[in-house]
Amino acid sequence: DAGVTQSPTHLIKTRGQQVTLRCSPKSGHDTVSWYQQALGQGPQFIFQYYEEEERQRGNFPDRFSGHQFPNYSSELNVNALLLGDSALYLCASSPGQGTYQETQYFGPGTRLLVL
Protein backbone atom coordinates (compact mmCIF):
# COMPACT_ATOMS: atom_id res chain seq x y z
CA ASP A 1 0.00 0.00 0.00
CA ALA A 2 1.61 3.24 -1.18
CA GLY A 3 -0.20 5.41 1.34
CA VAL A 4 -1.02 9.01 0.47
CA THR A 5 1.17 10.43 -2.27
CA GLN A 6 1.59 14.04 -3.34
CA SER A 7 3.27 15.73 -6.26
CA PRO A 8 5.39 17.64 -6.79
CA THR A 9 7.50 17.60 -3.64
CA HIS A 10 8.77 21.15 -4.12
CA LEU A 11 7.67 24.06 -6.28
CA ILE A 12 8.84 27.61 -6.85
CA LYS A 13 6.49 30.17 -8.36
CA THR A 14 6.33 33.95 -8.67
CA ARG A 15 3.60 36.26 -7.45
CA GLY A 16 0.51 36.29 -9.64
CA GLN A 17 1.10 32.84 -11.09
CA GLN A 18 -1.17 29.85 -10.70
CA VAL A 19 -0.24 26.46 -9.25
CA THR A 20 -1.78 22.97 -9.21
CA LEU A 21 -0.89 20.40 -6.57
CA ARG A 22 -1.87 16.75 -6.78
CA CYS A 23 -2.80 14.06 -4.28
CA SER A 24 -3.54 10.35 -4.49
CA PRO A 25 -5.31 8.95 -1.44
CA LYS A 26 -4.57 5.79 0.42
CA SER A 27 -6.16 2.72 -1.12
CA GLY A 28 -9.76 2.34 0.01
CA HIS A 29 -10.16 5.97 1.05
CA ASP A 30 -12.69 8.17 -0.73
CA THR A 31 -12.29 11.46 1.15
CA VAL A 32 -9.48 13.93 0.60
CA SER A 33 -8.73 16.98 2.73
CA TRP A 34 -6.21 19.72 2.02
CA TYR A 35 -4.28 21.74 4.59
CA GLN A 36 -1.89 24.67 4.50
CA GLN A 37 0.98 24.56 7.00
CA ALA A 38 2.93 27.78 7.28
CA LEU A 39 6.42 27.62 8.76
CA GLY A 40 6.26 27.08 12.50
CA GLN A 41 2.48 26.69 12.51
CA GLY A 42 -0.01 23.86 12.66
CA PRO A 43 -1.94 22.77 9.58
CA GLN A 44 -4.91 24.94 8.63
CA PHE A 45 -7.89 23.24 6.98
CA ILE A 46 -8.55 24.44 3.41
CA PHE A 47 -11.31 22.13 2.18
CA GLN A 48 -12.48 18.54 1.94
CA TYR A 49 -13.71 16.56 -1.05
CA TYR A 50 -16.03 13.56 -0.98
CA GLU A 51 -17.80 11.96 -3.94
CA GLU A 52 -16.25 14.61 -6.22
CA GLU A 53 -17.93 17.43 -4.30
CA GLU A 54 -16.50 20.01 -1.91
CA ARG A 55 -18.06 18.95 1.38
CA GLN A 56 -16.51 21.46 3.77
CA ARG A 57 -14.39 24.57 3.41
CA GLY A 58 -12.17 26.43 5.83
CA ASN A 59 -11.49 30.14 5.97
CA PHE A 60 -9.60 30.47 2.68
CA PRO A 61 -10.34 32.82 -0.23
CA ASP A 62 -11.81 31.71 -3.53
CA ARG A 63 -8.32 31.78 -5.05
CA PHE A 64 -8.04 28.33 -3.52
CA SER A 65 -10.07 25.76 -5.42
CA GLY A 66 -10.02 22.05 -5.82
CA HIS A 67 -11.26 19.05 -7.65
CA GLN A 68 -11.74 15.37 -6.97
CA PHE A 69 -11.68 12.79 -9.72
CA PRO A 70 -13.69 9.54 -9.99
CA ASN A 71 -10.64 7.58 -8.78
CA TYR A 72 -10.69 9.78 -5.61
CA SER A 73 -7.45 11.57 -6.44
CA SER A 74 -7.56 15.31 -5.97
CA GLU A 75 -6.04 18.58 -7.08
CA LEU A 76 -5.57 21.84 -5.24
CA ASN A 77 -5.39 24.96 -7.40
CA VAL A 78 -4.23 28.35 -6.20
CA ASN A 79 -4.64 31.38 -8.45
CA ALA A 80 -2.99 34.79 -8.27
CA LEU A 81 -0.29 33.59 -5.89
CA LEU A 82 0.77 35.84 -3.03
CA LEU A 83 3.99 35.73 -1.05
CA GLY A 84 1.90 34.60 1.93
CA ASP A 85 0.87 31.46 0.08
CA SER A 86 4.36 30.06 0.66
CA ALA A 87 3.81 26.99 2.84
CA LEU A 88 3.76 23.23 3.04
CA TYR A 89 0.52 21.93 1.52
CA LEU A 90 -0.65 18.68 3.04
CA CYS A 91 -3.18 16.25 1.69
CA ALA A 92 -4.92 13.76 3.96
CA SER A 93 -7.24 10.91 3.10
CA SER A 94 -9.80 9.00 5.12
CA PRO A 95 -12.87 6.84 4.73
CA GLY A 96 -15.82 9.11 4.08
CA GLN A 97 -18.34 7.97 6.61
CA GLY A 98 -18.81 8.08 10.35
CA THR A 99 -16.10 7.99 12.95
CA TYR A 100 -13.67 6.39 10.50
CA GLN A 101 -13.24 9.89 9.13
CA GLU A 102 -11.19 10.72 12.22
CA THR A 103 -8.34 8.49 11.13
CA GLN A 104 -6.75 10.74 8.56
CA TYR A 105 -3.60 9.63 6.77
CA PHE A 106 -1.34 12.44 5.66
CA GLY A 107 0.94 12.66 2.68
CA PRO A 108 4.47 14.10 2.86
CA GLY A 109 3.32 17.44 1.49
CA THR A 110 4.26 19.81 -1.32
CA ARG A 111 6.46 22.72 -0.30
CA LEU A 112 5.50 25.83 -2.27
CA LEU A 113 7.72 28.89 -2.36
CA VAL A 114 6.33 32.08 -3.89
CA LEU A 115 8.90 34.71 -4.87
Partner 1 sequence: GNSVTQMEGPVTLSEEAFLTINCTYTATGYPSLFWYVQYPGEGLQLLLKATKADDKGSNKGFEATYRKETTSFHLEKGSVQVSDSAVYFCALGSTSGGSYIPTFGRGTSLIVHP
In the complex, which residues of this chain contact partner 1 (CB under 8 A)?
A: 4, 31, 40-45, 48, 50, 55-56, 58, 90, 92, 94, 99, 101-109
Q: How far is CA 107 from the centre of its chain?
A: 9
Beta carbon of residue 39, minimum distance to partner 1 (angstroms, whole number): 11
d(CA 49, CA 32): 5
State phi, psi for 100 to the nearest 5 degrees. Answer: -65, -20
Q: Between 14 and 51, name the residue whose CB sits nearer to partner 1.
A: 51
Min dist. Cβ of residue 64 to partner 1 (A): 16
Q: Given the complex with partner 1, which of 76 and 90 has the nearer CB atom?
A: 90
Nearer to partner 1, 57 or 67 (CB): 57
In a 13 Å sphere around the CA of 84, the CA atoms on its Cβ side amount to 4
Residue 60's CB is within 10 A of a number of other CB atoms, namely 15
The minimum distance between CB 49 and partner 1, in angstroms, equals: 10
The number of beta carbons lying within 10 Å of the beta carbon of residue 5 is 14
User: How far apart (Å, rounded) are the C-alpha atoms in residues 10 and 81?
Assistant: 15
Question: Cβ of residue 23: shortest distance to partner 1, in angstroms?
Answer: 11
Give whichever of 34 and 78 is closer to partner 1, judged by the CB atom: 34
